[in-house]
């Protein structure tokens, strides 16, 4: 093999190496971009569409139980308002600390609500519902007197009425529309209780 052939073979070999390196780099870039895209989709889905949450406490028994895992649906409230009996998760601040509560909407904006002798009155009429765990409501709280619900506010109760910190408690009070993170949509754990959350 003469010098020209050797140089030519060396050049071809270097070109192949260069193409291989470029191919590897391009594949690495494609993989990184792919995973960044997946990551962004997950973040956007969780922020704007659906988010996993875990129930902490007994306030929603017998509908939801401690350590139940749910999917919180956020999309519908971007196009419509929360409705009576929706189970919602909302932000609550106490002593500057943010926490999340899960409760059921009972009173809507512009309505009045009062609880007396275990009966819930909306606009002076008895509210017919069967979500409460017990027949009696031992604690009326601030709802012993008629409460006027403001615009973009909601009155919420836990289904376990005698073991729930909710709108009856002055520390919670009426819940603003802005603080509602979403609607409890489906229970995903435990698997034996998998299913949609009852809202009506």
pLDDT in the model for residue 39: 57
Separation of alpha carbons 173 and 65, rounded Å: 23
- What is the model's pTM? 0.79
Residue 103 annotated in active site: yes
Catalytic residue among 11, 13, 103, 118: 103
Cβ proximity of 148 and 154 under 8 Å: no
Query: What is the model's pLDDT at position 8?
Result: 53
Q: What is the pLDDT along the chain (200 residues), one digit of tens a residue?
A: 555 555 555 555 656 666 666 667 777 777 776 666 565 555 655 566 688 999 999 999 999 999 999 999 998 898 999 999 999 999 998 777 889 999 999 999 999 999 999 999 999 999 999 998 888 999 999 999 999 999 999 999 999 999 999 999 999 999 999 999 999 999 999 999 999 998 77
Q: Concatenate the DSSP letters of all residues of 63-103 into one string.
A: TS-TT-EEEEE-SGGGTS---TT-EEEEEEEETTEEEEEEE
133 flagged as catalytic: no
Helix (H, G, I), strand (E, B) or coil at 140: coil
Return the H-helix or E-strand segment holding 182. strand 180-189
- What is the rounded distance in angstroms from the CA atom of residue 164 to the CA atom of residue 132? 11
Among residues 59, 74, 164, 167, the one annotated as catalytic is 59
Token pair 């919602």 is found at: 88
| CA dist., res. 131 & res. 154, Å (int) | 17
């Amino acid at each position: 093999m003469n010098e020209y052939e050797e140089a030519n073979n060396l050049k071809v070999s270097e070109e192949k190496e260069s193409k291989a390196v470029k191919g590897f780099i391009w594949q690495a870039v494609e993989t990184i971009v792919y995973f960044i895209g997946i990551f962004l989709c997950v973040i956007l889905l969780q922020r704007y569409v659906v988010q996993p949450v875990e129930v902490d406490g007994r306030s929603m028994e017998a509908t939801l139980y401690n350590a139940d895992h749910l999917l919180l649906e956020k999309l519908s409230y971007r196009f419509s308002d929360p409705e009576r009996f929706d189970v919602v998760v909302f932000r609550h601040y106490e002593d500057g600390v943010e926490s999340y509560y899960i409760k059921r909407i009972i009173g809507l904006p512009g309505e009045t609500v009062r609880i007396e002798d275990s009966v819930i009155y909306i606009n002076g009429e008895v509210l017919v519902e069967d979500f409460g765990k017990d027949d009696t409501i031992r604690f009326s709280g601030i709802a012993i007197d008629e409460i006027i619900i403001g615009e973009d506010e909601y009155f919420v109760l836990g289904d376990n009425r005698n073991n729930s910190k909710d709108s009856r408690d002055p520390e919670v009070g009426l819940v603003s529309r802005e603080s509602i993170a979403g609607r409890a949509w489906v229970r995903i754990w435990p698997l034996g209780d998998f299913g949609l959350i009852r809202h009506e």
